[in-house]
Structure 1
Amino acid sequence: MADKKLLLIDGNSVAFRAFYALYRQLDKFTSPDGLHTNAIYTFKNMFDSMLKQLQPSNILVAFDAGKVTFRTEMFQDYKGGRQKTPNELLEQLPFIKEMLEHLGVKSYELENYEADDIIGTLSKMGDEAGYEVAVVSGDRDLTQLASKHVTVYITKNGVGEMEAYTPEHMKEVNGVTPTEYIDMKALMGDSSDNYPGVTKVGPKTASNLIQQYGSIENLYEHVEEMKKSKLKENLINDKDKAFLAKKLATIDRDSPIAVGLEDTKINSVDIAGLREFYERLGFKKFLAEMSVATDGNVSSEDMQKYDYVELTSDNIAQLKLDDSEAAFYLEMLGDNYHLAQFVAFALKTSDGIYVSKDVALLEESPLKEFLQNPDIKKNVFDLKRTYIGLNRLGVQAEGINYDMLLASYLINNENNSNDLGEVAHLYDNYAVKTDVEVYGKGKKQAVPDDETLFSHLAAKVVAIDKLKPALLEELKDHEQDSLYDEIEVPLAFVLAKMEITGMKVLPTTLIQLENEFGMQLSKLEEEIYLEAGERFNLNSPKQLGHILFEKLNLPPLKKTKTGYSTSVEVLDQLRSQSKIVDKILNYRQISKIQSTYVKGLLDVVQADGRVHTRYLQTLTATGRLSSVDPNLQNIPTRSEEGKQIRKAFVPSQEDGYIFSCDYSQVELRVLAHVSGDENMQEAFNTGYDIHAHTAMKIFHLNSTDEVTPDMRRTAKAVNFGIVYGISDYGLSKNIGITRKQAKEFIDSYFEQYPGIRSFMDQAIKSAREKGYAETIMHRRRYLPDIHAKNFNVRSFAERTAINSPIQGSAADIIKIAMINMQKKLTELNLKTKMVLQVHDELIFDVPKDELEIIKKIVPEVMQNAIKLDVPLIADAGWGHSWYDAK
């Protein structure tokens, strides 16, 4: 601990961060008396993290005294645009202050001033008195306080993550010094604090001006010397706003505070008062920490250590593995567990905790028999990762029946961390450090010393074991136990086997495509230069903007801070005005396919001639699977060049087949089911072309025979747009019609399908009442913004409430189909392998002699995955490559 280190905490800001860190579990964190406690609980954890990182000798926590300050006297609408602080947070602030008092820490507020001013004044006093000062806040306004002896720490995501702002870092991030940052704010204003700056001056322009002139005072002394421009005009017109903004942005470092440095000394903890406080609020974890710290004279840091036995080849024979259940964790370094470095493993049985860095022990008796014994149930953190890791060691794991990561994901799918420590923290278990704390990040990752490593792994298997009953109980309370037991856990095994199998890729085909695309790109380049009348860097937006909008005089539809926008959206609108635009778009498309898919795939073909994609089962809030390393779900299918990539994916046997089966309009069929709309259900039940049927309805035709291809395209856009809660503006942009026409189409749609309008209204109403949307299989998506006052934020939550039950149910259906399909392949003892899932499509590697049976059983299994009020239809195709199968 430093002799003189002053820690100043922005109480309101940290409390706000603490409140929203566990906002999705708001109802879980309540005291026996019904007080919400999520902010208090997380504030304490954040406070402990600050103490550990910064080790101060003196502390003060500053709070705002109220909304009215000397700044509101200068500018009445100061902070006027902010949403009202939630009552659930307001009710916790007095308890945070009470907790600080019991902890021996001074808190302070000053009428007519903000917490920033208290901190600014005390930081100045501390600096002058020879203290090293640390300021902690979530508000970057306080970075203006940074100096040689004052470091401002801005809280980031996560309880302990903070970014340190020194004068050097300020210069690096903003291009200005801390004091110049005030002038930068004066020019650009602050939408958060609701005060204006100079019209159309953003951060980059403001930074450049202050770097050039040093202050707004000097800037305005020389403003008349500037060249005539809109910027100059705005600067002159908004001079008063700029100087007012500077006053509002400047922290008062000489506030009339009634506290001094003596008051910031940390007092002794009021143990009796703190214990009573924790009991009153139901904080069992903090009570347990107190008991250990006071009764055993052990710090909370030591609570992370568990007794364990290190296994070696010398003592492995003494290991007893006759339990019916055990927790197991295999540690690997690296996200891609197909290639990751094995580090160590940990095992928790009724006899104790066992750890070892000798991973080869898992390949031998008795551990191999234990892991392959289906009668011994293994509790793990990530089933798929564990199964594949053990498979790499030659161990075919059996009996894995609990996956902590999947259970946590289903309970709260907004939290998609795959770090056991972070997941444990969500459930009141801070005994497990995060992997970043232990190994570091990215390229800096390194295995720590044995004691640290073994303690970390021991804490992990304890957390897996201890949290299991609570997580399974919560799944049951949410009616998600079937979703977990019957879909997600069985699917993890299916995905593991698919990943291990991989898909055969022909490098020769990719190399051939690389050459072909290279020639196409060279030809397009020359054609573009010919149209432009000069050579230039095609990949430079600045040079391209100059050619298109200055030399060729195309209308600049959009500008960015650095010049003309040359985005795909902008160029698409200019296609008809010049041949060069179409060529540029084609060049970009082929160039992306070349770099991302041709060269990208060549880099990831493994020694067995296959690519082994990883499926992220816990990433999306809707339940859809994602593919990475490489991403095989995003191979383009709209362009012929994109489709060509699929030629490289072939069956494992030369005369074999790639078989593809794809659900037809599954989301619309789910919509027909969940809405109960009779007209839409009739269309599906009678086998109509749903888009033609919709076109007939919205264009008021008598028969689908009257529907033109353009009408059908419009109806298709409306059908899928409705699924995603599209607006008339969005539809008009998508299909190139007026907003009025788009509104008429949507109105006609709801006239013809009234049940869908009722479903949408009910979905929003239900989400407002429950706080979440739900799929057919009870997959939840929490929607805290459903009550937001901001229209755009609330509207997005409402669209999500409509879409999630549809998209999420479609995701559940394909998962059920995958599980049933794997069962069928096993039951019939077929050599066919399911090798890929791309949204609503399943792809199989089929030996020649099994093609006929696969043609029959795959569509049959997919179409019978779940019983809806309308039939599910799956369309199949096959060929000697993935390209030929479509």
Structure 2
Amino acid sequence: MSENKKLLLLDGSSLAFRSFYGLLDLNRFKNQNGLHTNALFAFNRIMEKLFETEKPTHLLVAFDAGKTTFRTEFFEDYKGGRQKMPSELAEQWPYFKVLVDAMGGKSYELANYEADDIIGTYARRAEKEGFEVVIITGDRDLTQLASEKTRVDITVKGVSDLKAYTPESIREEFGIEPLQIIDMKGLSGDASDNYPGVRKVGDKTALKLLKEYGSLENIYEHVDGMKKSKMKENLIADKENAFLSKKLATIDVDTPVEPTLDSLALEERDTEKLVSFYREMNFRTFLQDLDLSEDDLSEEFNEITYTKVDTITPEHFSDEMSLYVEMLENNYHYGTIVGISWGDKEHLYVAEPDVVFQSQAFKEWAEDQTKKKMVYDAKRTIVMLHYAGIEISGIEFDTLLASYTINTNDSGRDLALVAQEHGYFDVSVDEVIYGKGAKKAVPSEQEVLFKHVARKAKAILELNQKLIDELKENNQQDLYFDMELPLALVLANMEITGIKVEPERLEIMKEEFSERLLEMEKNIHIEAGEEFNVNSPKQLSVILFEKMGLKPIKKTKTGFSTAVDVLEKLSSEAPIAQMILDYRQLAKLQSTYVEGLLKCIKPETGKIHTMYVQTLTQTGRLSSTEPNLQNIPIRMEEGRKIRQAFVAQKEGWKIFASDYSQIELRILAHISEDDHMKEAFIEGQDIHSSTAMRVFGISDPEEVTANVRRQAKAVNFGIVYGISDYGLSQNLGITRKKAQEFIDRYFEKYPGIKRYMESIVKEAKETGFVETLFHRRRYLPDINSSNFNLRSFAERTAINSPIQGSAADVIKVAMIRMQEVLKEKNLQANMLLQVHDELIFECPAEEIPILEKLVPEVMEQAVSLTVPLIVESGYGDSWYEA
């Protein structure tokens, strides 16, 4: 029946902007390709919320088709004052429609019209058809569409809070009817849309006039009879502007839209598309919220033949076989192996873990260097078998690593997804077999498990030659066989070695931090004049904005915001704001790092065994997880002090650390062949001071202040990461215009860098990819896209990937060579950690003089560049001291 039909109309353009600025955490919200995703994340959240609260039967998301509309035909400066869309939002723009489509909705844009006009047209049509209509927008102009059947919800804070407008609430708030909002705009104009209105007439005066005269037309019929005033003079002088502004503010409710109302019926979500979208955007939370069934993920497979072995003999092995070891836990340092399979083209075998671990025949085959093994995730396999007492060797091929080398798209830990990328579909994704989340478990039917692990061993065999051929075709066999595969063995060794952590020191720190937090809490209470729960945003809001009378900056559903950005703005006028910020920072260090690290110490070894993820990033950089030791905050002294707990494993041993100095900028100098940048590095100048002098026209190095150097540093690194004027303005707290001036001057002073950027983009457009110095590729499918935003993002990626990727490659070469040299020289030193551009070792005190010479030598000679690679080293009793 018609009364049950509900049309939800979303102003896509307005909500996309609101989503972007409402969740302005550009560093946190990025996917594995470096694409910013903050606006898409917030947009997805509001759509989820609207589906839940509004339960629409029909849905349309309307977008602006472009800057030129029928309004610009009669007023050229319409919306002329608006700044260019930040590139960080522009690159997300094409994906909004992908998301809407996956959610079962329709998106639409119409040349020569705005989203408002599309919404107005469908709202009026739907009302006639008996629909209930709800409009969601960030633009108050749309309140003119409110009627007995149409409600207009305006975003208040970002996109998370909405304020509903109905004819009744508009009468209550403004004392006028919804359509009179158009007349109000005619009088007061609109700065955001850049139309004039009448000089000196704001909303207040406009409302007063409308309450008296009813409409713009009626005001001008009576203007002559008004008593003499400045307002009357302005009304007469700006009559043309007033009617022009009213025309511009009027939403066209009869546009030639094509989709019928029936075609806007909300369809079922396309689970496959949503899974694909959430994976691409790295939206793990939304992915977990999807209730995936076996039917969503399962496929028909060919029959597989395998032999279950209860007693293993040497006859079960040949000279070249695949091996697959299955464990359900992500953290394989603590997990339990559930099944093992191995085989060649003739035979596939499956055995229970206990059978394998008690077999001398299996151990001898696994540890025999001459017996070649093909595996999936060599590092994981080595570590898992090490804990079972088997030191595997002879790993000749790793399917996961080969796939990653060919195309650096991360497919997580699931072998089936990697196989699918290379055209092999005869293996199931793990979620179908084991379930997910709390329900994840070994299947009750043993045959289901055995068949699954056997299929994995077979997939490794089937993919082997195909992947080798692809590596050769890409000229990547050296990258794979000389760098990635040997590195997996180095990383496995580092993970098994682990790093000793003194729990007592962390416990002392925990006590100290607890006392400090209590002290800080006490001081906050004194400043506030009363006791309250410092961890309660609601109570803090009452203290700051009601009791202390500070001016609120943002509003939330529960009151006024006390978020970090708000407190930072308040800190200059109220000491309590800075006190709260300091308190929160220390509390996070306490919970995430001090307490978090204590939980990660392995009781059997007294060490932390972080896991290195070799196949995650598009640039080839390593990641660290469970725990992430690359992310311990070191800007705060308290954060740095956490490193005091990381010590050498034996009495009389030291921690030794070596760090590449400005490796990315040195690689930029080498790749770009820019004379000025090369000269600065060859002459050993401080690159940021050198840049400051060139870009800001300073002749004397003494005149380069810390602040000026900081700005130059932000520009230097910003250029490497393809920063926009908007991004740089945010980093430095300056205007976009000023930021653009910095970027322009930089290119003027470093013309080689500008030439490199232009040539690498040209090359990417011709080949579809860019490469590091070691032929690591990054494919850029959007580099020739007709969509400006997609193309721009791909261009920036083309510029920075060879630099970041080459830096990652250099440190990998250094790690492999370092492990070899430690062995060659018969040193006791262990390589423990890799953190960004730094390598951390432990060694006996007497080996320190050897490492001081050896490590920089190996690291600096890892690759030959036209500028010197410089390594800085230090040592001490803990990582902190080193």
TM-score above 0.5: yes
1:469 alignment counterpart: 465
Give CA deviations for 1:457-514 in whole Å, capped at 9, x if unaligned. Answer: 1111111001111112112222222111111111000000000000000000000000
Provide the C-alpha distance between the structure 2 equivalents of 1:242 and 1:635, rounded to a whole number of angstroms: 55
Please tell me whether the aligned partners of residues 344 and 359 of structure 1 are also in contact (alpha carbons under 8 angstroms).
no
- Separation in 1, partners of 2:780, 2:853: 42
- Counterparts of 2:353 and 2:729 in 1: how far apart (Å)? 63
Out of 515, 518, 523, the position equivalent to 2:514 is 518
Change (3 A) 1:748 1:224: closer
Structure 1 residue 421 corresponds to structure 2 residue 416: yes
Q: 1:205 to 1:832 in 2, by over 3 A?
A: closer
Q: Alignment partner for residue 732 of structure 1, among 717, 729, 734?
A: 729
Say which SS state the counterpart of residue 338 (structure 2) adopts: strand
In the TM superposition, residue 747 of structure 1 has moved relative to its aligned partner by 2.5
Q: Which residue of 1 aligns with 2:877?
A: 880
Report the Cα distance in structure 2 between the residues aligned to 1:847 and 1:680, rounded to whole angstroms: 40
- Conserved? CA contact 1:188–1:202, under 8 Å: no
State the number of aligned residues.
666
**Structure 2 residue 720 is the aligned partner of structure 1 residue 714:** no
Match of 1:785, SS? coil
* Residues 184-223 of structure 1, C-alpha deviations (whole Å, 9 max, x = no match): 7534599xxxx9983624899999889xxxxxxxx84754
| Aligned residue among 658, 675, 678 for 1:678 | 675
Counterparts of 1:662 and 1:699 in 2: how far apart (Å)?
29
**Compared CA separation, residues 814 and 741, structure 1 to 2 (3 A):** same
Alignment correspondent of 1:568: 564
Give the Å deviation of 1:574: 3.4
Q: Which residue of 1 aligns with 2:351?
A: 356
Q: Could you say what the CA RMSD is over the residues aligned between the two structures, in angstroms?
A: 3.8
Given that residues 856 and 872 in structure 2 are in contact (C-alpha distance below 8 angstroms), is that contact kept between their aligned partners in structure 1?
yes
Which digits, 9 at most, give the CA deviation of each residue in 1:312-340, with x for residues without a partner?
Answer: 13xx237332x221000001111011111
- Select 2:135's aligned residue among 186, 203, 212: 186
Do the aligned residues in 2 keep the contact of 1:660 with 1:876 (CA within 8 Å)?
A: yes
Other-structure match for 1:200: 154
Query: Which residue in 2 is equivalent to 1:842?
Result: 839
1:413 and 1:620 in contact (8 A); partners too: yes
Q: Which residue does 2:861 correspond to in 1?
A: 864
Q: Which has the higher contact order (CA 8 A, sep 6+)?
A: 2
Q: Corresponding residue for 2:17?
A: none
1:372 aligns with 2:336: no
Per the TM alignment, residue 515 of structure 1 is displaced from its structure 2 partner at its CA by: 0.8
Per the alignment, residue 308 of structure 2 pairs with 310
Which aligned pairs between 1:539-688 and structure 2 lie closer than 5 A? 539-559=535-555, 564-607=560-603, 608-688=605-685
| Contact map agreement 2:155 2:163 (CA 8 A) in 1 | no
Question: What displacement does 1:573 show?
Answer: 3.5
What is the distance in 2 between the residues matched to 1:724 and 1:804?
Answer: 8
Check if 1:138 corresponds to 2:135.
no
Q: Which amino acid counterpart does residue 398 of structure 1 have in structure 2?
A: S
Matching of residues 282-301 of structure 1 within 5 Å:
none
- Partner of 2:322 in structure 1? 327
User: What is the correspondence of 1:766-845 to structure 2 with a 5 Å cutoff?
Assistant: 766-788=763-785, 791-845=788-842
* Structure 1: runs of 5 or more not aligned: 1-23, 25-70, 84-135, 144-180, 211-218, 256-299
Alignment CA distance shift 1:851-1:254 (3 Å): closer
Distance of aligned partners of 1:778 and 1:318 in 2 relative to their CA distance in 1, 3 Å threshold: closer
Contact 1:524 1:587 in 2 (8 A): yes
| Matched-pair identity in % | 48
**For 1:489, which of 475, 482, 485 is the aligned residue?**
485
Cα shift at 1:422? 1.2
Cα distance in 1 for residues equivalent to 2:379 and 2:264: 59
Instruction: Give the letter aligned to residue 724 of structure 2.
Output: S
- Residue 475 of structure 2 aligns to a residue in which SS? coil
Distance 1:702 1:556, change over 3 A: same
The separation in 2 between residues aligned to 1:233 and 1:341, in whole angstroms, is 68
Partner amino acid, structure 2, of 1:838? V
Once the two structures are TM-superposed, the CA of residue 254 in structure 1 deviates from its matched residue by: 12
Q: Evaluate the alpha carbon distance shift between residue 787 and residue 588 of structure 1 in structure 2; reply closer, same or farther with a 3 A threshold.
A: farther
Check the 8 A contact 1:506/1:650 in 2, yes or no: yes
Letter of the 1:361 counterpart: V
Cα separation, partners in 2 of 1:202 and 1:669, compared to 1, 3 Å: same
Partners of 1:620 and 1:447 lie apart in 2 by 30
Q: Does the 8 Å CA contact 2:383/2:496 hold for their aligned counterparts?
A: yes
Instruction: Identify the range of structure 1 (859-868 vs 744-753) with the bigger mean alpha-carbon deviation.
Output: 744-753
Q: TM-score, normalised by structure 1?
A: 0.69
Which shifted more, 525-534 or 736-745? 736-745
2: CA distance between counterparts of 1:746 and 1:514? 45
Does the C-alpha gap of structure 1 residues 793 and 871 become closer, same or farther in structure 2, counting only changes over 3 Å?
same
Which secondary structure does the structure 2 equivalent of 1:447 belong to? coil
Superposed, 1:386-401 pairs within 5 Å as: 386-401=381-396
Match in the other structure for 1:438: 433
Assess, with a 3 A threshold, how the Cα gap between structure 1 residues 356 and 202 changes in structure 2: closer, same or farther: farther
Encode CA deviations 1:638-697: one digit per residue, 9 max, x unaligned. 110001100100001121100000000001001101110011101111111111211221
Cα contact 2:634–2:640 (8 A) shared by 1: yes
Residue identity matched to 1:577: E
Q: Hey, what does 1:92 align to over in structure 2?
A: none
SS at match of 1:186: strand
CA distance in 2 between partners of 1:231 and 1:555 (Å): 32
Partner of 1:93: none
Per-residue CA deviation, residues 774-805 of structure 1 (Å, 9 max, x unaligned), is: 21112122223334555554433322221111
Q: How does 1:55-94 map to 2 (within 5 A)?
A: 81=65
Post-superposition shift, 1:412? 2.1
Give the TM-score taking structure 2 as reference length: 0.69
Distance change in 2, residues 1:714/1:225 (3 Å) = closer
Task: Specify the SS of the correspondent of 2:629.
Answer: coil
C-alpha separation in 2, matches of 1:745 and 1:184: 49
> Is it true that 1:459 corresponds to 2:455 in the alignment?
yes
Aligned to 2:850: 853
Q: Is the 8 A contact 1:184 1:206 kept in 2?
A: no
Of the candidates 256, 259, 262, which is equivalent to residue 252 of structure 1? 262
Alignment of 1:217-256 (within 5 A): 220=166, 222-223=168-169, 252=262
Q: Deviations along 1:605-652, whole A, 9 cap, x unmatched?
A: 111110000001111111111111111111111110001100100001
| CA 1:389–1:679: 2 relative to 1, 3 Å | same
Q: Matches of residues 273-284 of structure 1 in structure 2 within 5 Å?
A: none
Q: For 2:739 and 2:554, how far apart are their aligned partners in 1? A: 24
| Cα distance change, pair 520–189 in 1 and its aligned pair in 2 (3 A) | closer
SS of 1:734 mapped into structure 2: helix
What is the CA–CA distance in structure 1 between the aligned matches of 2:154 and 2:162, rounded to whole Å?
14
Distance verdict in 2 for CA 1:564–1:618, change over 3 Å: farther
One-letter amino acid of the structure 2 residue matched with residue 668 of structure 1: L
Aligned 8 A contact 1:381 1:405 in 2 = yes
Pairing partner for 1:500 from 482, 488, 496: 496
Q: 1:740 to 1:847 in 2, by over 3 A?
A: same
Q: Which residue of 1 aligns with 2:691?
A: 694
Q: Unaligned 5+ residue runs, structure 2?
A: 1-31, 33-57, 68-99, 108-129, 146-150, 186-248, 266-297
Aligned CA distance change for structure 1 residues 253 and 717 (closer, same or farther; 3 Å): closer
User: Is the 1:198–1:242 contact (alpha carbons within 8 Å) kept by the matching residues of 2?
Assistant: no
Mapped partners of 2:756, 2:482: distance in 1: 27
Cα distance change, pair 759–359 in 1 and its aligned pair in 2 (3 A):
farther
Q: Give the C-alpha shift of residue 543 in structure 1.
A: 3.8
| Contact 2:157–2:556 (Cα < 8 Å) also in 1 | no
Alpha-carbon contact 1:198-1:235 (below 8 Å) kept: no
Q: Note the alpha carbon deviations across 1:428-484, whole angstroms, 9 max, x for none.
A: 222100011110112211111121111111111111001111112112222222111
SS in 2 for 1:812: helix
